[in-house]
Structure 1
Amino acid sequence: MSFFRNLSVAALVAITTATTAGAQSTATKPATKPAAKAPVDSFALSSALPVDASVKIGTLPNGIRYYIRRNAKPEQRAELRLVVNAGSILEDEDQRGLAHFIEHMAFNGTKSFAKNDIVKYLESIGVRFGADLNAFTSFDETVYILPVPTDSAGILEKSFRFLGDVATGILFDSTEVVAERGVVLSEWRNGLGAGERLRDKQFPVIFRGSRYAERLPIGKPDILEKANPAPLKRFWRDWYRPDLMAVVAVGDADPKKLEALIRSTFGGIAPRKGARARTIAAVPTHDSTLISIATDKELSGSSVGVLWKSKGRTTRTVGDLRQDLLERLYNQMLNQRFSELALKPETPFVGAGAGGGSFVRSSEYYSLDARAKEGQLMESLQALLTEAERVRRHGFLAAELDRAKTNTLRGYERAYQERDKTPSGAFVDEYINNFLQGEAIPGIAFEYAAMQKLLPTVTVAEVNALGAGRVGEANRVVTVSLPEKDGLKVPSDADIRAVFGKVNAATIAPWVETVTAGALVARAPAVGRVVSEKRTEALNLTEWTLSNGIKVFVKPTDFTADQIVMTGWSPGGASLVADKDVFKTSLATTVIERGGVGDYSIIDLNKKLTGKVASASAVISDLSEGVSGRASPKDLETMMQLTWLRLTSPRADTSAFKALLQQFDQVLKNKDANPAAVFSDTVQMTLAGGHPRVRPLSAEMLKELNLDEMMAIYRDRFADLGDFTFLFVGNVDLAVLKPLVEQWLAPLPAAGRKETFKDVGPKLFSGQIDKTVRKGIAPQSQTAILMAGAAPWSREDSYLLSSVGEVLEMRLLDRLRESLGGTYSVSVSAQFSRNPRQEWQLVIGYGSAPDKAESMFAAVKQELDSLRRVPPSAAEVERVREQQRRELELARKQNGYWLSTIRARLENGDDLGTIGNEDPMIASLTAEKLAAAAKKYLTEANRARFVLLPESK
């Protein structure tokens, strides 16, 4: 067991895999239940989009809008929101950051809930502060987020009472305001770094002449440090008023009851007389191109972007919906081209994209962006502009449009199929947008029908025509950012402007593509068979043993209509390779997958999978090798075929490999300029004690990667699959799956090789470690504290360790945030590992001001000592139990929970009957058990503390 294990590899893979297109199709709009059938002429372009009949929209006499919808996903839960059409853009000069500060004060005393009693109450009913209960403030709005259970009396009433207090009864107690200054400043401090410094240089250019350039929601520290009730109350009284508020209530509750609660809670609020005008800040237009060039010593890479600003618009008619569709198709096709280019080593960027969105309420944008290879910023800009110009001159191919249409329609089809399974939170987001921006909410039944009607009418010519409006100079902004380092040239404005002229004068050929024809699997294997079947009725679990020895477990569920998830594994993994090959092994599946499968390159494979919702990926972890996949029920066979190909027909592609190495190199080249990366490496290397299997990733290590050797490792790990176990969970029909298992899993190679993992990793650290890392220039500090030990594993001990961690997190949050105002958040994670050794660890993490690092650590030690000496209170025990019970209640309605839980039991040889024993463990949790566990695990026998501080001046 180790802290930060493989974090760098995971980040490396995540960044580089973002450049490849996936086979998954998703709709951009959430699903709803069917509305009334649309009339024949409802798809006329001038027709207003209807309102989904499943949502009730009303307005109280005082002007407060409300949205109510019954939705039972998840069951016995409701999502409540108070939406205030006011954000930081409306702050007076002495209020910079106070719109956001008010959001904090809402949880620190209202007329019905003293201090932070609302937080304690909601935690007592299973709602976690931060993770569930929260709020956010943006430029233009503030939203209070309250997800609550609906199966106990009084919860909805208290929840609405709190939201009503936010509107009319925040106390702004001066003592609480002073105490909260430190918390808000800590949140400001958390945002510091290269990204923040870059934003501060770019925003004044992007928003030139606009109030948005100087009204970031986090505000100014000099104002936050002196915040007092008067300006807070002034903003609250000016803008928290009925004509600027909406209440959204979606969930498993009686709509009539919800409406009655809304009326009784908010109906008595008087309209504000003589209120300040709620103006919409403009983003001024400009005729010439604006340029921002920014450098920073902590930037890890170079990037360039071109954006065109335009007036914000909303989707209200069928014509608007069709225009949105055209733009979506355009971006899909251009992004697919960028993805293909990123797979070629000669391309100057490692990744690029095109897209649009809403900057702020009054302005939207369209942008082209690229992550450039070091030293190739201007070449990347030229490549971006060349592709946009290629589309303007020659357009897209008919085949490209056909694929984009197919994927788009499939996304809407999936959303329609899941219309009864859509989570309440998705509806909430739609209704908030309707209130704030007037976006239509027709519902998925109408949208799916509209797509079926509109997509066939879209021609390649009209999609191509969009390109003409995306090359002009008006309202154009170019942003360039790069590391501040010796030898790296910073381009000038003239250099950038010259690229535009160069592209305009260039000869650009039409896009050419090739498509590999034929079946996904050239030749199907000989069919195997299921030789035995068992049932575990309590879990609705079927077990098949195949003719090659593979075990297959299947659990059908009805949680989602359009999802099947799969995992397959066998013990061994990287633990069976030599120390010198660990790095190659950690990246082997990423490298080989980039080559495609069978007869298909990754580019051709993506085209082949058009309209399919199916994927399968090989995985080699420390202790096992395996495969993971997911599919729509209608594409189950495609997932099975991909699984067969991943395991038997991996494909090497030297060009794709070279391009991937270049992408890795760009990620690693400037890694040591990033304080967080240096801190992570220090923690990892210190705990590993110099073990050869744990090394900080560097660009130099890339020289060790050899495609042939990585292919050999890959093939060896999947050469003999007779000891594999597969598990399927989701909307799966056994009668459909069984012949597919016999066709694609039963023929997998099996020669009797039986393996298990080896214990070859670093041993548990011992004693006390204190290490300080000085890196970065921002005035911020991060602390990580680890406690660990060896102990026999049991399910109850693992549960008690986790529960102690939850109590500790509550106490530390109360002490470090609420009492001391020293941090914005605290995390405590606890884990009891069984393999390769039985060990436990508990990790505490938090940020603070650098000059508070030692006093905060002293406070942590006091809380650790207190929890060792004094048993948790009855209220603390109940809060932990209720949160665990509520989370388990939700988890059991998710396919992912069953996939991971059943796999864990099978992988460790446990009795499947132990699934479900969490309930009695939770019910039997006592203060005495927690006290004993705290004494056992909150020990400093093995304790490591790592502190990240700014560089010394």
Structure 2
Amino acid sequence: MSKLSFRGCAALCALTTLGAGAPLQGHAQSLPLDPAVHTGKLANGFTYYIRKNTAPRNRVTFYLVNKIGSMQETEAQRGLAHMMEHMSFNGTTHYPKNELVEYLQKSGVRFGADLNAYTAFDETVYQLPLPSDDSSIVRNGLQIMRDWAGEATLDPTEIDKERGVVLEEKRLRNGAQQRFQDQMMPLQVNHSRYADRLPIGLESVLKTFTPETIRSFYKDWYRPDLQALIVVGDIDVATMEAQVKQMFATLKNPAKEKKREYYTIALTGKNQFMALTDAEQQRTQVQVMIKQPELVIRNREDYRRFIVMQMMNGALQERFQQITTQGNPPFLQVQAGLGGFMGGLDAFTVNIAPKPGQLKEAFNMVWTEVQRMQRFGVTAAELERGKKNFLQEFEAAWKERDKTPSDSYVKEYVQYFLKGAASPGIDAEYALVKTLVPGITLDDVKALAKQAIRDTDRDIYMEAPEKDKASLPDAATVDGWIAAVARAPLQPWQEAATGQSLLETMPVAGHILQRSGPDSLGVYTCVLSNGIKVLVKPTDYKNDQVMISAFSAGGTSVYPDPLFMSASNAAQLVAANGLGNMDPVALSKLLTGKNAMMQPFIQERYQGFQGGASPADLETALQLLYLEVTAPRKDTNIFNGLISRAKASLAGRGNNPDAVFADTAAAIMGMHHYRRQPLTEARLEEVKLDEAYRVYKESFANAGLLTFVLVGNIDTARLYPLLEQYVASLPGHAGTSDWKDLGIHIPEGKVNATVYKGNDNKAVVNLVFSGTYAYNADNNMQLTALGSILQFRITERIRETEGGAYSPRAGVTYNKLPEGRYAFSVQITCAPANVEKLIAATKEEMDKLKTNGPSEDDVAKFVAETRRSQELQLRDNGFWMQYLVGRLQNGDPMNAVLHFDERLAMVTRASVQQTAAKYFTNENEVRLVHLPEAK
């Protein structure tokens, strides 16, 4: 994926709540569109982009992009652009009612995960990934896109059913953050039209609009001159283009077209301030936003400015990381940088989370660094590191150019169509980057900082708990803080020390005792002289990726409760201190331009390491591993800072209704065991640096107990000498280790708890049905099928029939160790008045599965989705890493995946019904409900 596609994806994510800009105007030197993309415009104005791409194989992704959103709504239509998106899934000419979703699920497409859409201020986008090895599915996929473009039926009965779903989606947003957003939005958008056109709309409109009102919106705006079809995947481009022309050329624009207005947010030159409080806000947060004209990358100069922006943003991030790491600053975290906003604007934004009672100190410290950047720009060393990292990221993307996922291309072309954002292709873009980056100067960054960090068009927003209302500063006070910082003398940023090399002396190499493989899975195995076992699966799924995992049994389970807090935080704390004689800042600088990382972990039953690297930097990753075993660093100042921030982050947690419910649920589900209690300041006091350091050293004292798994683009001939140098040299010997069964599991019997917290008209229901389980591959497949089919039934009943929730969730988990157990869970967010009704509906659907079994359609959907998902997983490094580690830890046969299709074929209506009858016993039921406080 190219840097532009990364930026395009980031902009796309932002645009799901913000807005797109005006259409592309003429630019004499605009960067040309990637010639690999076949594009055209039909006589009716409909645009298409088609590209062949085989990552993943036998898949194609369709996107239908409409240059319309909530900004095109009339006052009587507020919320109907989003409602229209929903209705496109509830009936079209060729797929009435819910037949569209049913057909796609039986074709292996997952609703929500694969099949989806979003509505923003200025666009509505539908996505449809499909198998491409079945021409009938591809043809029907095109027909679905054609139906979405102009043939939604908008049946009144379906409209009324969907009202409840959209209202429940709106309910999900209820909370302190939404209340803050509702008040801040008019200021943020300078009282423009955007303030009155949030895509979710108005409840009053959603409840009462007539079918004719939404039909009017559809006829006016869903039209070919505002639409584009993007097709990327493993397809024949010429055949696809012919089908697109045949199918979409018949779309017609309205006889009387409404003008499509392009709205922007005007800069006023004024500064604005707002301080807000809420009883449910956990802690104070501050945002400073300096609005300015948007940068849309269309030509070479735009791109150069984008690179300069990355240099400034990267240096700011690095500085605040250093301040946070090396000291005990008055803030919990800071984010600062220049990026996209909305309505034709970018914004230099600073987000500050002060420690309780240290608002002024935090603001002044952060604003001092902002001013330092504004006055002096970046240092020569910062610029050099920024350039190296930028080039390394691009080189990595370029190396993966033949493995770039189709979704990345699609999202890039979405921005090309909507905003004219350049999409020249990775070859041209990498060449451009290599040309531009060396010429970026200190003066370039300084000039941008002076322009971006200015004293006009500056908004300041404060969000705080209600109890802090009287102590919050007003606009004049904050302006005084800013003025004082501006008057204060400042020196340029002082560079911290940088490490010279990871290893001062090379370790004494060990050797490989024995090798075997490849086995039936393509896995090689070797045993090292210090007892370490290594499994290696070379793949060609990614060109620039090697994943590494190592583990041994033990974890926190082998330590007594009084040491639990130190043990459970040991790996995180020690890793945060750096390595050897380098603190984390020096270590980070030393790794500039490297694509390598390694992190230790100490979990309940295992300890080990997880990381990865590009093939070129694999040696660096193994050097990091060697140091993490042999030279962990202990730093009291860093430890004290971490604990101080952790304590401060807990302040006000009792105000947050969701946090209170989550803590209660975790304690109940963990049998109120000491190790499952919520984190508190008192528990943090139990964390001792010396204890944590001792646990860490003990956990990895004998590296010979570790098992390593490496997956990715691996040359074994190059790997084996590296294993001998950095892994076989680790201190240790062959042996065995084990974990301790703590006896903690989901409680048995009937457990019923209700938490009354908060004032929003919103309820959350968690139902868990659990028990002991005979874990094996056949049972696992049947249980997985039952969990997926329960999700189908819950979605159909709770969402579609009852209109009672937007996204009810159901599923199953199971484990072999420490003992075989299963758990079915259902989560529903709904109106408080509907809690009992929806719980009853859930249990009724479970009873139906016990009594009648699933439908043939439900079984067909599960089989299709599972088979298609497995096809993709088998070409994913992450899947193989998880699979191999899981098999090793459980002691399961390694070749089980080779018999996947056989077990999938055993899933039938009868088998699922038998599984439901066996496990839907209601003997062990946990019912957790979150309701608002009584008024």
1:382 is aligned with what amino acid? N
- How many residues were matched structurally? 917
Q: Is the 8 A contact 1:304 1:380 kept in 2?
A: no
State which of 194, 219, 243 in structure 2 corresponds to 1:212.
194
CA apart distance, 1:362: 2.2
2:307 is aligned with what amino acid? L
Which whole-Å CA distance do the structure 2 matches of 1:751 and 1:546 have between them? Answer: 9
CA apart distance, 1:95: 1.0
CA apart distance, 1:562: 0.2
Which whole-Å CA distance do the structure 2 matches of 1:135 and 1:516 have between them? Answer: 47
Q: Secondary structure at the match of 1:154?
A: helix
Q: Secondary structure at the match of 1:626?
A: strand
The answer as to 2:447 corresponding to 1:471 is no
Matches within 5 A, 1:23-172: 27=3, 29=5, 47-172=29-154
1:435 is aligned with what amino acid? F
CA apart distance, 1:526: 0.8
Show the counterpart of 1:8.
Answer: none
State which of 790, 810, 823 in structure 2 corresponds to 1:828.
810
CA displacement, residues 401-445 of structure 1 (integer Å, 9 cap, x when unaligned)? 000000000111111100000000000001010010011110110
CA apart distance, 1:264: 1.8
CA apart distance, 1:306: 1.4
1:282 is aligned with what amino acid? T
Q: Secondary structure at the match of 2:703?
A: coil
The answer as to 2:813 corresponding to 1:837 is no
Which whole-Å CA distance do the structure 2 matches of 1:867 and 1:842 have between them? Answer: 14
2:272 is aligned with what amino acid? L
Which whole-Å CA distance do the structure 2 matches of 1:376 and 1:102 have between them? Answer: 47
The answer as to 2:761 corresponding to 1:779 is yes
Q: Is the 8 A contact 2:265 2:343 kept in 1?
A: no
CA apart distance, 1:752: 5.2
Show the counterpart of 2:898.
Answer: 916
The answer as to 2:642 corresponding to 1:660 is yes
State which of 692, 702, 716 in structure 2 corresponds to 1:720.
702
Q: Is the 8 A contact 2:312 2:377 kept in 1?
A: no
Which whole-Å CA distance do the structure 2 matches of 1:692 and 1:306 have between them? Answer: 41
Show the counterpart of 2:484.
Answer: 502
Q: Is the 8 A contact 1:31 1:416 kept in 2?
A: no
Q: Secondary structure at the match of 2:5?
A: coil
CA apart distance, 1:29: 3.2
Which whole-Å CA distance do the structure 2 matches of 1:386 and 1:764 have between them? Answer: 50
State which of 178, 193, 197 in structure 2 corresponds to 1:196.
178
Show the counterpart of 2:21.
Answer: none
Q: Is the 8 A contact 1:202 1:292 kept in 2?
A: yes
Matches within 5 A, 1:235-314: 235-314=217-296
Show the counterpart of 1:680.
Answer: 662
Which whole-Å CA distance do the structure 1 matches of 2:29 and 2:592 have between them? Answer: 32
Q: Is the 8 A contact 1:82 1:247 kept in 2?
A: yes
Which whole-Å CA distance do the structure 1 matches of 2:118 and 2:879 have between them? Answer: 29
2:655 is aligned with what amino acid? A
Q: Secondary structure at the match of 1:539?
A: coil
CA displacement, residues 175-203 of structure 1 (integer Å, 9 cap, x when unaligned)? 11111111001100011111111111211
CA displacement, residues 638-676 of structure 1 (integer Å, 9 cap, x when unaligned)? 000001111221111222112211221232112222222
Q: Is the 8 A contact 2:530 2:730 kept in 1?
A: yes
Which whole-Å CA distance do the structure 2 matches of 1:820 and 1:659 have between them? Answer: 51
Which whole-Å CA distance do the structure 2 matches of 1:71 and 1:363 have between them? Answer: 34
Q: Is the 8 A contact 1:183 1:822 kept in 2?
A: yes
Show the counterpart of 2:15.
Answer: none
Q: Is the 8 A contact 1:49 1:442 kept in 2?
A: yes
Q: Secondary structure at the match of 1:597?
A: coil
Alignment root-mean-square deviation, CA: 1.7
Which whole-Å CA distance do the structure 1 matches of 2:675 and 2:143 have between them? Answer: 56
Q: Is the 8 A contact 2:316 2:337 kept in 1?
A: no
Show the counterpart of 1:892.
Answer: 874
Please say which of residues 198-207 and 880-889 is displaced more in the overlay: 198-207
Which whole-Å CA distance do the structure 1 matches of 2:886 and 2:192 have between them? Answer: 55
Matches within 5 A, 1:662-811: 662-751=644-733, 754-811=736-793
Q: Is the 8 A contact 1:177 1:227 kept in 2?
A: no
Q: Secondary structure at the match of 2:467?
A: coil
Question: Structure 2 vs 1, CA of residues 479 and 432 (structure 1 numbering), >3 Å: closer, same or farther?
Answer: same
CA apart distance, 1:620: 0.7
Show the counterpart of 1:19.
Answer: none
Contiguous gaps of at least 5 residues in structure 1:
1-24, 33-44
Q: Secondary structure at the match of 1:29?
A: helix
Q: Is the 8 A contact 2:570 2:696 kept in 1?
A: yes
Question: Structure 2 vs 1, CA of residues 751 and 159 (structure 1 numbering), >3 Å: closer, same or farther?
Answer: closer
Which whole-Å CA distance do the structure 2 matches of 1:289 and 1:373 have between them? Answer: 26
Q: Secondary structure at the match of 1:544?
A: strand
- Deviating 4+ runs (over 6 angstroms): none
CA apart distance, 1:26: 9.0
Which whole-Å CA distance do the structure 1 matches of 2:783 and 2:270 have between them? Answer: 62
Q: Secondary structure at the match of 1:879?
A: helix
2:607 is aligned with what amino acid? E
Please say which of residues 231-240 and 480-489 is displaced more in the overlay: 480-489
State which of 309, 326, 348 in structure 1 corresponds to 2:308.
326
Which whole-Å CA distance do the structure 2 matches of 1:322 and 1:432 have between them? Answer: 22
The answer as to 2:506 corresponding to 1:530 is no
Which whole-Å CA distance do the structure 2 matches of 1:719 and 1:116 have between them? Answer: 59
1:159 is aligned with what amino acid? G
TM-score w.r.t. length of structure 2? 0.96
Question: Structure 2 vs 1, CA of residues 452 and 117 (structure 1 numbering), >3 Å: closer, same or farther?
Answer: same
Which whole-Å CA distance do the structure 2 matches of 1:27 and 1:703 have between them? Answer: 44
CA displacement, residues 543-564 of structure 1 (integer Å, 9 cap, x when unaligned)? 0100011100101000000000
State which of 297, 301, 305 in structure 2 corresponds to 1:315.
297
Question: Structure 2 vs 1, CA of residues 949 and 764 (structure 1 numbering), >3 Å: closer, same or farther?
Answer: closer
Q: Secondary structure at the match of 1:57?
A: strand
Question: Structure 2 vs 1, CA of residues 379 and 323 (structure 1 numbering), >3 Å: closer, same or farther?
Answer: same
Show the counterpart of 1:878.
Answer: 860
Show the counterpart of 1:860.
Answer: 842
Q: Is the 8 A contact 1:388 1:467 kept in 2?
A: no
CA apart distance, 1:488: 7.2
CA apart distance, 1:753: 5.2
Which whole-Å CA distance do the structure 2 matches of 1:368 and 1:303 have between them? Answer: 11
Please say which of residues 338-347 and 700-709 is displaced more in the overlay: 338-347
Show the counterpart of 1:17.
Answer: none
CA displacement, residues 103-158 of structure 1 (integer Å, 9 cap, x when unaligned)? 01001111111101000000001101111101100111000111111111311121
Please say which of residues 283-292 and 113-122 is displaced more in the overlay: 283-292
Which whole-Å CA distance do the structure 2 matches of 1:230 and 1:422 have between them? Answer: 44
Show the counterpart of 1:612.
Answer: 594
2:880 is aligned with what amino acid? W
CA apart distance, 1:27: 4.1
Question: Structure 2 vs 1, CA of residues 31 and 435 (structure 1 numbering), >3 Å: closer, same or farther?
Answer: closer
Q: Is the 8 A contact 2:2 2:425 kept in 1?
A: no
Which whole-Å CA distance do the structure 1 matches of 2:105 and 2:337 have between them? Answer: 40
1:465 is aligned with what amino acid? A
CA apart distance, 1:751: 4.6
Q: Secondary structure at the match of 1:357?
A: strand
CA apart distance, 1:804: 0.2
Q: Secondary structure at the match of 2:497?
A: coil
Question: Structure 2 vs 1, CA of residues 522 and 487 (structure 1 numbering), >3 Å: closer, same or farther?
Answer: farther
The answer as to 2:355 corresponding to 1:373 is yes
CA apart distance, 1:764: 4.1
Show the counterpart of 1:223.
Answer: 205
The answer as to 2:601 corresponding to 1:625 is no
Q: Is the 8 A contact 2:558 2:740 kept in 1?
A: yes
CA apart distance, 1:523: 2.1
Question: Structure 2 vs 1, CA of residues 26 and 711 (structure 1 numbering), >3 Å: closer, same or farther?
Answer: farther
